[in-house]
Amino acid sequence: MDVWQALRVDSVNVAFGHRLWWVDAFTGDAERGNPAVVVLLERSMPDDELQQIAFELGVSETAFVRRVGDQWSLRWFTPTVEVDICGHATLASLHVLLNELGVPGGEIYFQTRAGQLSGRRMSDGLLAIDLPRWTLESADASMLNNTLGPVREVFRAGPHSVLAVVEDYDTLCGLAVDSMNLFLVPCSMVIAACVGGPGADAAIRVFAPRLGLAEDSVTGSAMCAVSPWWVESTGSPTVSVHQASARGGVMFARLFESAVEVAGMARTFFGGDLRG
């Protein structure tokens, strides 16, 4: 009996080895989403080796997934650092488990640095993940060092992020951000948001130079802040969001008391084996 049968996951289609899949997460009709590489680990590996793999792969996030009991260990690395949370790589990991490995449906649980996260298949091809809800605290615009120009509101969001609300979609798309100046802002991630966007309730751009990302393509974890901001602004617990990056992305969020359900589409670009 192999280890997968022992774990009663009989339908998993996997030959042992470090297999990987390139997945585009939060895609749309005209949006290419954000690439993440999902690596299925046969065994635990030293942190420096995981970081080197992420550096070699060079995408914004590499997710390392390993079966641990009846759950999955999940870690996320940019090319330069391990991060506490990543939405698009979590959605990509859920996609791989359900659609590439044939893990039985239902609720999938991940053990992460952000605590236990879960995900599930929804209707119309959507996948959904539960991320923590972040608390918003009003902040002075001076903390941004004028990197975004004039802003309507600024909030500290969660432990390491800032949400800045700009005037409109044209202003959002016109932001010319200097990554070196933004690096001096005391946070890991700066989310610029506005009301409205093409086919969506709101639109965002996300900058994270301290994480090695000048601008992220699509950022699921931004919904941890955007969803609370939206409900405080409009009273609606649901919001559709367009990320106005070069690749573009579409996300749907629903706010709960302590969590944000973030949904989107994902597709596999290619799969292979990690060697040596």
Q: Please list the active-site residues.
A: 61
Burial 3-23 (b: 16+ CB within 10 A, else e): ebeeeebeebebeeebbbbbb
Q: What are phi and psi of 41, to 5 degrees?
A: -90, 135
Q: Does residue 109 contact residue 120 with C-beta atoms inside 8 Å?
A: no
Q: Is residue 42 classed as helix, strand or coil in its secondary structure?
A: coil
**Number of neighbouring beta carbons within 10 Å of residue 61:** 28
Exposed, middle or buried by CB within 10 Å (0-12, 13-18, 19+), for 247? middle
Tell me which DSSP letter residue 69 carries. T
